[in-house]
Amino acid sequence: MEIGFIGLGNMGAHMARRLVEAGHRVVVYDTRQEAIGNLAAHGAIAARSPAEVADAAETVMASLPTPDIVLAVATGPSGVIEGKRVRRFIDLSTTGAATAQRIFALLAARNIVQIDSPVSGGVRGAEKGTLAVMVSGPRAEIAAVEPALAVIGKVFVLGERPGLGQTMKLVNNVLSATAMAATSEAMVTGVKAGLDPQLMLEVINAGTGRNTATEDKFIKAILPGTFDLGFAAALMLKDIKLFLAERQALGVPTDVIEAVARLFQIACDECGPDADLSAVVQPIEQRAGVKVRAS
């Protein structure tokens, strides 16, 4: 299959590489020439703009950081919407349902189908091809591209309505963020009381408190103090805020997730927006006067 791929960041570069290695003809674009060069070295074809990508392939995928960037790349000047060959736009980013619906309508006016397809599983999942791929859109179009999507992970078809995939992704991400925030508070409390953090995690993971933070994130990035999960705290905060906007429109109370948003806002304010999402523990550590590190 001929596939265009826009956005070669921490996630996108691995997904595009896997598509190349699976034998697809992949045309790539990123604002960073180095990222394009790295994929070209694996056999991808370089392009100079999103429109040029969409001139070269009927299917264009995008993995981008924010809703505004996705909107511009999909529908702005020199965007995918101006491509001569493109028939479908697969958005692997996290934008929220409202943006997905807006892009769907704008592209439909040019006879381009948007397939909403955010992913979860982190950089490691992108590298190994084990992402959860949350897809919504016209079923015939999904069927046409499902073999390519299966290269990057397990495909879950959620329905045909634009935005369903985005809502599913936000539900997943706020649960991940909540686990991270709650685990940070709990672990700091235990360390302050004199417990060994490594032993704490062993106990928690053998019991009912285990979650993605205790089983993976704390062990990988917080105990060793590397803070390198590969996803910025500001991007997680963006996803939480998108979720809160959707729940407000739906009239759902979310007191816990609002508290999680405040913790990630503090982390961004005090550690910087580019800090790793695992840095959410650091303001809590600072106030408590202890650090959750392996001895």
Residues assigned a catalytic role: 169
14 alpha-carbon distance from chain centroid: 13
The two tokens of residue 146 are 């499902």
CB 137 within 8 A of CB 168: no
Nearest to 154 by CA among 136, 129, 176, 137: 129
Give the integer Cα–Cα distance in Å for 3 and 222: 38
Give the integer Cα–Cα distance in Å for 173 and 11: 15
HSE-CB of 13 using CA atoms within 13 angstroms = 19
The two tokens of residue 85 are 């060959």
- Give 212-271 as a DSSP string: HIIIIIIIIIITTT---SSSBHHHHHHHHHHHHHHHHHHT---HHHHHHHHHHHHHHHHH
Determine phi and psi for 217, rounding to 5 degrees.
Answer: -65, -45
SS3 173: helix
Residues belonging to the chain = 295
SS3 69: helix
CB 147 within 8 A of CB 124: no
